[in-house]
Amino acid sequence: MKKILPAALALALVAPAHAQSLAKATFAAGCFWCSEEAFEKVPGVVSAVSGYIGGQKKNPTYQEVSAGTTGHTEAVEVTYDAAKVSYEKLLETFWLNHDPTVIDRQFCDGGSQYRPEIFWHTEEQKRLAEASKAKWEKEKPFKQRILTPITKATQFWPAEDYHQDYYKKNPARYTFYVTGCGRYARLDQLWGNLRKK
């Protein structure tokens, strides 16, 4: 069973020299199961934790968030080794793994709890996120406007343990969900060959 490792704990468990190069990033791209899979496959990522951000209630449950009453969105908190992977690379992973042409939904999941969003932790992350959004607005292979907001990070609440690494623990159910939701088909339609690089 996977232990949830928020960024602060992950930082404490590594050697001091290595800890200095660790940083955290937070992204909402619809279902956090899918976001977790995308980021955990990026070399240099130490962990990707599913959870909730952007709402008012402390320590919300999945049932509360999925009801759309707390203001949170499903997200992942990524702990990464900045000496091995850049924040720009994480931003690219984010863009190519969500539909930026809609708000308050992603694929078959509707409601503000599935809204896509970049949550920045430092002024540098904010600058880089805004630059990446401007870049994709110019270079995107689709006609629709990019609507994904960029917001200052607030308290991140890790989701229940059964949500962590769901794609690994329940591969058949996960594949059924992703396929049935049309996630990859829509991403390929939007981004085309950019997703294959």
Catalytic residues, by residue number, are 31
Can you give the chain as a three-state secondary structure string?
Answer: CCCCCCHHHHHHCCCHHHHCCEEEEEEECCCHHHHHHHHHCCCCEEEEEEEEECCCCCCCCHHHHHCCCCCCEEEEEEEEECCCCCHHHHHHHHHCCCCCCCCCEECCEECHHHCCEEEECCHHHHHHHHHHHHHHHHHCCCCCCCCCCEEECCCCEECCHHHCCHHHHCHHHHHHHHHHHCHHHHHHHHHHHHHHC
